[in-house]
Structures are given as C-alpha cells and as structure tokens.
C-alpha cells in the first residue's frame, strides 16, 4: 500500500496511507475543507504523482496529516 512519508528537520518520520481514489470514501464537509488546505501545502510533484497513480488521502487520515503539515522544512515523498 503506498504511503505519504513526511520527515521533519529532526529526522522524525510520519507515514500516512494513500488509497485508490476510485475506492475511497467521500469526505464530509469538514474533511473536504481540510483536504483543500492539505492540497495547498503539498509540493506540486507529490500532487502530480498522486494524480498519476490515482491515489488520494483517506478521510480518516485528513486531520492528523493536516496537523503534521503545519511544520516547516518538511521532506515529503511517496513510498510503497
């Protein structure tokens, strides 16, 4: 299962599952708002790769991911 990997400047790594966009649950209104904020914070190359592979962030991961993305100087990648 692909994962979104986030490493902070201190080297602490967090991973978030990515799922197929076609099989994902639809987010509620609050999660949709949070997803918009996540999309603004993710680097363009990550968004392009997610789009090309048909991946999305499952609604259950949205809140925690958004809180992790608020830090500065993150290294973000996608791993399998």
- The predicted model scores a pTM of 0.88
CA distances from 24 to 12, 33, 73 (A): 28, 17, 29
The predicted pLDDT at position 23 comes to: 82
Taking the chain (80 residues) in runs of 10, the rounded mean pLDDT of each run is: 94 95 88 94 96 94 94 93
C-beta of residue 54 within 8 angstroms of C-beta of residue 22 = yes
**Token pair listed for 43:** 């680097």
Measured between alpha carbons, how far apart are the two ends of the chain, in Å?
6
């Amino acid at each position: 299962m692909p994962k979104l990997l986030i490493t902070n400047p201190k080297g602490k790594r967090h991973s978030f599952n990515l799922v197929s966009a076609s099989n994902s649950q639809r987010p509620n209104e609050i999660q949709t708002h949070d997803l918009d904020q996540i999309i603004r914070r993710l680097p363009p190359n990550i968004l392009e790769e997610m789009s090309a592979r048909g991946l999305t962030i499952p609604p259950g991961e949205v809140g925690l991911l958004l809180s992790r993305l608020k830090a500065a100087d993150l290294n973000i990648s996608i791993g399998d």
